[in-house]
Amino acid sequence: MKNRLRVLRAEREWSQADLADRLGVSRQTVNAIETGKYDPSLPLAFKIARVFEAPIEQIFDDEQETA
């Protein structure tokens, strides 16, 4: 799933470690989500939305990537 995590993080000048701390996950997990290698669980997606103070659909794009 595509997402704007890297952009939102850059806008706030947060490092991967800053975001990982706020979400209570590892930096590897933040990296895997940012690169689209891992889709977060619903509780984690809500947590991400709360941290960025934005609705989930503004952070994650549920349209399938074109092959």
Partner 1 sequence: MNSGSSLKPPAAAWRSLGRMVIGAVLGGGATLLLYVGLRRLDWADALALVCSLMCLISAVVLALASLDRNALSRTLKVEGEATPAEVRGARLQAVVLALAGLLLIAPVIAEVLGNPVPLATWLCLAALFVAQSGYNLQLWRKGDELVRRVILEAGALTFWIFQGGLFLYAAAERLGLVPAATAWDLFSAIMAAYLLAGCVITLRRKLA
Site for partner 1 in 20-49 (CB under 8 A): 24-32, 35, 37-38, 40-41, 44
Number of residues that bind partner 1 (CB under 8 A): 18
Contacts of 63 (CB under 8 A, 6+ apart): 2
Q: Does 16 bind partner 1 (CB under 8 A)?
A: yes
Does the protein bind partner 1 through residue 51 (CB under 8 A)? no
Count of Cβ atoms closer than 10 Å to residue 22 Cβ: 15
CA 27 to each of CA 7, 23, 60, 67: distance values in angstroms, whole numbers, following the listed order? 16, 10, 19, 28
- Which residues here bind partner 1, judged by CB under 8 A? 15-17, 24-32, 35, 37-38, 40-41, 44
